[in-house]
Structure 1
Amino acid sequence: MLLSPAEKQYLYDSLSQSSVIRPDSRSIHQYRPLEATTSFLPGSNGSARIRLSDGSECLISVKSKVVSIDPDASKDNLSNLIDVDVDIVGYRDDSNYITNLKFQLINLLHQNFPHLVLQLTSRYAFKLFIDCIIISHSSYPLSLISLATYLALKTTRLPLLVSDPNDLQVAEYPTFSDDWDNARTIEEILVDKQIGTEFKPPIFITIGVVGKNLLFDPSVEEEQVLENGVIVSFYNNKVITPIANANFAINSNNSNFKGLNKTVLMKCITLCNQYCPAIVKALDTLIEQEGDQNDESIF
């Protein structure tokens, strides 16, 4: 929805004053209400669907495939075991918009994922293919995709390896248990391999800047009057790199767009460290309650 000049000015004034008044009455750190479902695609190792109150909807499917790896490869060379594809209705797959979203997601996961959990044997590993489909959206969808990817990866289950993991001297392809009940989540594999105790995928948080005020999860109306947009990465209960700025209002002319100073950037980091753990906890709570009810409203 495009706003008239008068509507933009009124909204800008409402968002830039000391007591922020957002169009939907949210607080500055509050996300829009959303509904999420996990593990609903029987042909996928993991899946999730998120629907926002404005009608935006994102589907994520995670599938695994056994691929060969270099036995002498370092841990860093295992980062190519994750591939991401983004499809948004109404956009070409080779458009700059899609390419930029895909790059940001791949870059975040390549740098902040326990890739050793995907290694099966000395010569083989799982490769994860994450397919992101945006059925409808109005505001910048990166955070929406990121939260859905978090849910899908947290509920991803991988078959149990039953063959010998030490196969350097044996020309043997990995074999797995036929019982899907023996499949394990990434967190369970993480614990078994003594790499860590919990698995929390990285997420992106989008923050709008208006004057001295910062707005979590800006709506499509708010995006049209923002002075800047900040994309913050959050992983392991802290803000990490990359941190980037962007103009979220891609479908309208935003004449308010300005540069970003370090004071605003530090404030973004502080707010994310303060409020993002609650976002991650809400997502984890949904997964824990999934056995009782498939559709859960969070935030």
Structure 2
Amino acid sequence: MQLSPAERDYLYDSLCLQTPIRPDARNLYQFRPLEAKTTFLPGSNGSARLRMVDGGECIVSIKSKVVKNESVNSLLECDIDIQGHRDDSNFVSNLKYNLTNLLTKNFPFDALRLTKKYSFKLFIDCIVISHTSYPLTIISLATYLALKTTRLPLLVSEIDDEEVEEQPTFSDDWEDSRLLHEITGQTFQPPIMITVGVIGKNLLFDPSLEEEQVLENGLIISFYNNKAITPISNMNLALNANKDNYKGIDQSLIISAINMVNKYCSAVIHALDTLIEQDDEVDGTIF
């Protein structure tokens, strides 16, 4: 939905106020409500589905495959498909690069090691069925849920296969499968990416489509292990809007955005983890 010039001016002035007035009455740091469901795809090692109040929807499926360590460069492979966009478009390629780069740098790959010769390789497939605002956050949150609920079969053959060539064999009972954090023996918190809108001296978490059209800049901030991490990048979040408002960004606003992420994103992670802990029979949860 494109705003008229009068609507753009009104919304811009409202968001630049000392106490900004957002169209949906959210606080600066408040996310739009999300509905989520995990482990709903029986053929996947992990899966998640997120739906936003504005109609955005994303499904993530994670599947594992046994590979020889010497035959692969990475044990993670991400693919993103977005309705209405070509797979080789810059828009999709940038999303795929950001997600792959973040996960590759912050993933416990030791959990995927099976033997000295073999490992699991994870294939992360993200399908954005619909979206209005920039979809990186919903992709990232859905991937978080899918990874947190990913189960890998239990290895029952020998771990040391350096001397003897032996294919890994696994338990036939899926009840013996283990979550990633159970394999590593420590809490596993996948990294996420948060979009932050910049307008005047104000910062807006999770900007909506209407807000993106009047923003002066946008930030993408990574969050892992309860703190903001690199990469941190700035970009115009509005794909098709008039770019007259797009400006440079003050260094102090970047620092303020990092502080906001450090302060409030732990609550987002807690909400996601709480959803995972709920009974599987619950058909989605609003948080």
TM-score bucket of the superposed structures, by smaller chain: over 0.9
TM-score (norm 1): 0.94
C-alpha distance in 2 between matches for 1:215 and 1:151? 24
Q: Give the counterpart of 1:258 among 247, 251, 255.
A: 247
- Aligned match of 1:141 in 135, 145, 148? 135
Instruction: For 1:61, give the aligned amino acid.
Output: S
Structure 2: distance between partners of 1:254 and 1:286: 38
2:214 aligned with 1:225: yes
Residues 182 and 250 of structure 1: CA distance in aligned 2, closer, same or farther (over 3 Å):
same
> Which residue type is aligned with residue 276 of structure 2?
I
Q: Distance in 2 between matches of 1:38 and 1:173?
A: 31
Task: Write out aligned runs for 1:75-90 (5 A).
Answer: 80-90=74-84
Of the three residues 145, 153, 169, the one matched with 1:151 is: 145
SS, match of residue 281 in structure 1: helix
Query: Would you say the 8 A contact 1:48–1:152 is kept in 2?
Result: yes
Identity %: 61
Q: What's the CA shift string for 1:138-170, capped at 9, x where partnerless?
A: 000000000000000000000000000100011
Contact 1:47 1:152 in 2 (8 A): yes
The aligned counterpart of 1:291 is: 280
Equivalent-residue separation in structure 1 for 2:214 and 2:73 (angstroms):
38
Q: Is 1:168 matched with 2:157? A: no
Alignment of 1:36-115 (within 5 A): 36-70=36-70, 80-115=74-109
Distance 1:51 1:10 in 2: 29
Query: Which whole-Å CA distance do the structure 2 matches of 1:147 and 1:93 have between them?
Result: 21
Instruction: Give the match for residue 263 of structure 2.
Output: 274
1:12 matched residue in structure 2: 12
Deviation by residue 1:208-246 (Cα, 9 ceiling, x = unmatched): 001010000000000000000000000000000000001
Determine which of 99, 116, 120 is the counterpart of 1:122. Answer: 116
Find 2:125's aligned residue among 123, 131, 138.
131
- Please say if residues 79 and 110 of structure 1, whose CA atoms lie closer than 8 Å, have aligned partners that are also in contact: no
> Which consecutive segments of 4 or more residues in structure 1 shift more than 4 A?
none
Call closer, same or farther: CA 1:233–1:143 in 2, change over 3 Å: same
> Matched residue pairs, number?
287
Which range moves more in the overlay, 275-284 or 287-296?
287-296
State the shift of 1:252 in Å. Answer: 1.7
SS in 1 for 2:8: helix
3-state DSSP of counterpart to 1:221: helix
Look up the match of 1:22.
22
Q: Which residue of 2 aligns with 1:214?
A: 203
CA contact (8 A) 1:224 1:253 kept: yes
Number of the residue aligned with 1:234:
223
The one of 177, 196, 202 aligned to 1:183: 177
Cα distance in 2 for partners of 1:114, 1:91 equals 32
Amino acid at match of 1:32: R
Q: CA deviation at 1:79?
A: 7.3
TM-score (normalised: structure 2):
0.98
Partner of 1:80, secondary structure, is coil
Q: Does 2:235 align with 1:246?
A: yes
Residue 292 (structure 1) shift: 4.9
- The amino acid of 1:29's aligned partner reads Y
Q: How far apart are the structure 2 equivalents of 1:182 and 1:141?
A: 36
Output one character per residue of 1:102-139: Cα deviation in whole Å (capped at 9) or x when no partner. 00000000000111110000000000000000000000
Cα separation, 2, equivalents of 1:239 and 1:200:
13
Please report how far the alpha carbon of residue 251 of structure 1 lies from its aligned counterpart in structure 2 after TM superposition: 1.7
